[in-house]
Structure 1
Amino acid sequence: MDPITPVHGTATLLLIAAAAVAVLLLLIMKARLHAFVSLVLVSVLTALAAGIPAGDVPDALAFGFNSTLGAVALLVGFGVMLGRLLEITGGAQVLADTLIGRFGERRAPLALGIAALLFGFPIFFDAGLVVFLPIILTVARRFGGSLLHYALPAAGAFAAMHALVPPHPGPVAAGVTLNGDVGVILLVGVPVAVLSWYVGAYLVGRALGNRIQVDVPSLLFGEMNGGTADQPGDAAPAAGGTGSTTVTRTAPAFGTVLTLLLLPMLLIAINTVLTTLVDTEVLPADSTLVNSLRLIGNTPIALLITLLVAIVVLGRREGSLADTSRILDDALAPICSIILITGAGGMFGGVLRVSGIGDALTGSLGDLGLPLLLQAFVIATALRVAQGSATVALTTTAGLIAAPVAAAGLGDFRIALIVMAIAAGATVLSHVNDSGFWLVSRFFGMDEKTTLRTWTVMETTLGLSAFAIATVLWLASALVL
């Protein structure tokens, strides 16, 4: 849906946006109205207040809700079913034990973060988080303490790679818009992502974990949360049974578990590489073989293939296919709320975009006379806060500053730093209009206040760290060039 022609001035639109966020937080945190109901209600009121015609309000609501659900629902569904199979067969425990054996208990959060950085290279934030969820929860349950010690370094790693490093769509689109070299952006983005993750996510995650206790949720563990879970090799109730019949579970080998985790990464990486080659006209866009390989590397299809392989490899440990189906069905029940709330968060962000609030905010910042690097960061931050989507903030900001960047005659290295600044601004201040905020909140069992105190803070320190590194490199390049 295209943005409407605003009927209000910039100041009024900004006041509407601020009031909408304030009312939403009040409804959820003070009135304790369910987050899904609150998001839909505030989205409707915001659309009307911003001047969207009443007849167009349903389309405006569906714009953000449908696009978010289309991107998230299949990933969450397939990912949680895969995670449940890994957990109940002992696969997650095997991987956790191996990681801890290699890195040691004290460096378990570091091990999770490094693994997430590697896996996050080809895979989007939400898909990576879904696939990695059973590992995070299993390690946290084993060693105790706040879940934040383990969750924030891993989630922050996926967020850093998604925002800063090609071939993810945001930095690629921004680089192309600014006529930069994607290869240079990749070479700059990787060290910036790793350094900013270490400072802004790993160290901050440890500090937040020391201050705020978040218990491991029962998303994958069912009734076992807070009790003693069945360990690999123990006698456990048969799937779908009453507990009177037991089966002896033999945990899968480490190589089997690692293969199941790497399979979607490999398929998605193939799709990413082929898409890049097609976009750069190295490969023909109408090739049947290329398009077939891209199809199986499409993220939902890659997760579906992985789930089918897991059913064959792991499901047979649970008995019949009917038993495995009951396990998968049980895995889906707790995530209905997650999917709906995430979709509603996308709805709210979509209304803010369609209403023109995001454009009004960035337009008011475009003529402030700020240095180019700072201007890129500030505009991306404003867009991020206004409408929620990091990718939209990245691509829109690049379009807004493309003319001054071209006029400045910057080289590829400095254009890459501009992209880093935009990505940094598009990362900070994740809040209630960001579908990722709700995904993290529900996956990690945190209420909205706790998510603001933890995830929002970590995303902000991650973005600020990336911008600080880009600024240092910018100043250093001025001395060299």
Structure 2
Amino acid sequence: MSSIALSSVLVVLSIVAIIYLTSKVKFSVFGSLFAVSLALALGSGMPLGKVIDTLKSSFGNTLGGISFIIIFGAAIAVCMQKSGGALSIASHILKLAGKGNAKAAMAWTGFIPGLTIFCDTGYIILSGIARSVSASSRTSMPLIAAIMGSSLFVVHCLVPTHPGALAAATALNANLGMLVLASVLFAIPGLLASYYWAGLMDKGQNYAPAEIEDGADDLSQDNLPKFSHALVPVVLPLVLISISTLLTTLGMKDGGATVFHFLGNPVMALLVGMLCGVWLLSRHGGQKGDFTKVLEEAIVKAGPILIITAAGGMFGAIIKETGVGNALGGVLGGASVGLLVPFIIAALLKTAQGSSTVAALTTAAIISPSLQTFGLDSEMGRVFAVLAIGAGSMIASHANDSYFWVVTKFSNIEMQQSLRVFSSSTFVMGVVTFACIWAASAFML
């Protein structure tokens, strides 16, 4: 057996081992990635003197590329939760839409805060509103849960303020400014697809609306921040990134544009968003010392994500050393499958082991050496590769995904109802999102 063939077998076994350890044995994701990376390095014949250095450098490089963004993003989420900003956005959207448009309102209620708030945290914060809307509009709770759950999930998988997309972007060296704009745009058709599909799956099932529980969130709370104020920590970072990207597209990189490029760097943009979040919190229930508390809580929330993502980068570096990625590109590159490869790999990994983040970072590690073979070794090609990975990491949220249980349990619905309406919606959402990405790539690559 050739060395590449042996390495290919070892890589496949490594991926199977990660899936088995995380989903069946319930071993920690970091422990699984570290053990498998070490075993793959030794099994593939990497010189012993190089093994530890590769593990350390790849872990550190990945951590350096993502740490500020994830910590500042987590801090924004903490501020939006503690200040009532997320509830303010949700309440305002619902009031504008009216009870007759409750379903559409719930879609945007998840989508907008979800740009910076992780999907599980966002759903927990907004679940009381979802139950209130279901009860007051007499709309099936599984349908409301699927719509809001999907709207949070689509941006979580695509937008690089979230760990999976950010890890993939770091591994593939994609332009974050372009990726932020493109990911938000491509998330919209995915959201619409899941919205209509959830309605089809709910139709004729006679699922019951929610019953209001004691302590459920009240949409008429008077002490929430103003809608315009609550939007600032979420929208301002996106505006700053957009301005920088637009100036770059127009070829304006020097002179007065340097200030906008500095502020539009994702790290600085999210730092500005975090400071705006702290300001929002100070005006609504905040106390002296909240800035320190926000950072501490953000670090606690971001810590596990940072460690897991950095471990994924470590695994990816070992895969690159084996040469399997180049071999994969050589086999599949001539088949003109391009973006289909990262999409399918991410979808298989997500469905098998449950974590969108692990699926995204592992897929990026596998395909990174093959970008040139797939015709994706350009600035836009790398952006589209990350988008394809994000679409694949949506397929599908089911019983091995912790987010599935957040949606199911915090909505007080049955597992079979959630599988039928929510899980199937995430599958359709991923397929439609990828179809739009693939279609757009035909004109832009």
* TM-score of the pair, normalised by structure 1: 0.62
Q: CA deviation at 1:109?
A: 4.0
Of the three residues 266, 281, 302, the one matched with 1:314 is: 281
Name 1:365's counterpart in structure 2: 332
The answer on 1:252 being equivalent to 2:240 is: no
Hey, what's the Cα distance between the residues in 1 that align with 2:174 and 2:312? 28
Name 1:344's counterpart in structure 2: 311
Distance 1:32 1:159, change over 3 A: closer
Of the three residues 87, 96, 103, the one matched with 1:102 is: 96
Of the three residues 15, 18, 21, the one matched with 1:21 is: 15
CA RMSD of aligned residues (A): 5.1
Deviations 1:113-172 (A, max 9, x none): 6648xx9xxxxxxxx44478765443233224676542333332464577xxxxxx98xx
Name 1:9's counterpart in structure 2: 3
Return the letter of the residue paired with 1:252: P
CA contact (8 A) 1:65 1:343 kept: yes
Distance 1:90 1:283, change over 3 A: closer
Return the letter of the residue paired with 1:340: I
Distance 1:459 1:344, change over 3 A: farther
Return the letter of the residue paired with 2:238: M
Name 1:219's counterpart in structure 2: none
Distance 1:397 1:427, change over 3 A: farther
Name 1:142's counterpart in structure 2: 129
Deviations 1:212-252 (A, max 9, x none): xxxxxxxxxxxxxx994887998xxxxxxxxxxxxxx9322
Name 2:209's counterpart in structure 1: none
CA contact (8 A) 1:376 1:421 kept: no
Q: CA deviation at 1:97?
A: 0.6
CA contact (8 A) 1:267 1:296 kept: yes
Q: Could you tell me which runs of 5 or more consecutive residues in structure 1 were left unpaired when the two chains were aligned.
A: 1-6, 120-127, 163-168, 177-182, 212-225, 235-248, 406-415, 432-439
Deviations 1:244-279 (A, max 9, x none): xxxxx93221111112221111111122222333xx
Distance 1:352 1:197, change over 3 A: farther
Name 2:154's counterpart in structure 1: 156
CA contact (8 A) 2:18 2:36 kept: yes
Return the letter of the residue paired with 2:21: L
Hey, what's the Cα distance between the residues in 2 that align with 1:472 and 1:283? 29
CA contact (8 A) 2:120 2:403 kept: no
Which 10-residue stretch deviates more, 152-161 or 254-263? 152-161
CA contact (8 A) 2:37 2:314 kept: yes
Q: CA deviation at 1:313?
A: 3.9
CA contact (8 A) 2:4 2:327 kept: yes
Q: CA deviation at 1:205?
A: 7.0
Hey, what's the Cα distance between the residues in 1 that align with 2:279 and 2:61? 32
Name 2:242's counterpart in structure 1: 269
Return the letter of the residue paired with 1:430: S
CA contact (8 A) 2:110 2:151 kept: yes
Hey, what's the Cα distance between the residues in 1 that align with 2:153 and 2:388? 18
Equivalent residues in 2 for 1:465-476, closer than 5 Å: 465-466=432-433, 468=435
CA contact (8 A) 1:48 1:57 kept: yes
Q: CA deviation at 1:312?
A: 3.1
Equivalent residues in 2 for 1:38-437, closer than 5 Å: 38-103=32-97, 104-112=101-109, 115=112, 128-130=115-117, 135-144=122-131, 149-157=147-155, 159=157, 194-199=188-193, 201-202=194-195, 228=215, 250-277=223-250, 282-284=251-253, 287-318=254-285, 320-367=287-334, 370=335, 372=336, 375-381=337-343, 388-389=360-361, 399-402=372-375, 426-427=389-390, 429-430=392-393
Return the letter of the residue paired with 1:152: S
Q: CA deviation at 1:283?
A: 2.5
Larger-gyration structure (1/2): 1
Hey, what's the Cα distance between the residues in 2 that align with 1:33 and 1:204? 35
Q: Percent identity?
A: 21
Q: Secondary structure at the match of 1:349?
A: helix
Deviations 1:404-427 (A, max 9, x none): x9xxxxxxxxxx9x9999677544
Return the letter of the residue paired with 1:326: K
CA contact (8 A) 1:48 1:54 kept: yes
Q: CA deviation at 1:90?
A: 1.7
Q: CA deviation at 1:474?
A: 11
CA contact (8 A) 1:295 1:301 kept: yes
Hey, what's the Cα distance between the residues in 1 that align with 2:196 and 2:307? 32
Hey, what's the Cα distance between the residues in 2 that align with 1:456 and 1:48? 39
Q: Could you tell me which runs of 5 or more consecutive residues in structure 2 were left unpaired when the two chains were aligned.
A: 132-140, 161-167, 206-212, 350-358, 395-400, 408-414
Q: CA deviation at 1:81?
A: 2.0
Hey, what's the Cα distance between the residues in 2 that align with 1:68 and 1:22? 23
Name 1:37's counterpart in structure 2: 31
Deviations 1:68-90 (A, max 9, x none): 32233222222222222222222
**What is the count of residue pairs matched by the alignment?**
383
CA contact (8 A) 2:120 2:406 kept: no
Hey, what's the Cα distance between the residues in 1 that align with 2:118 and 2:80? 10
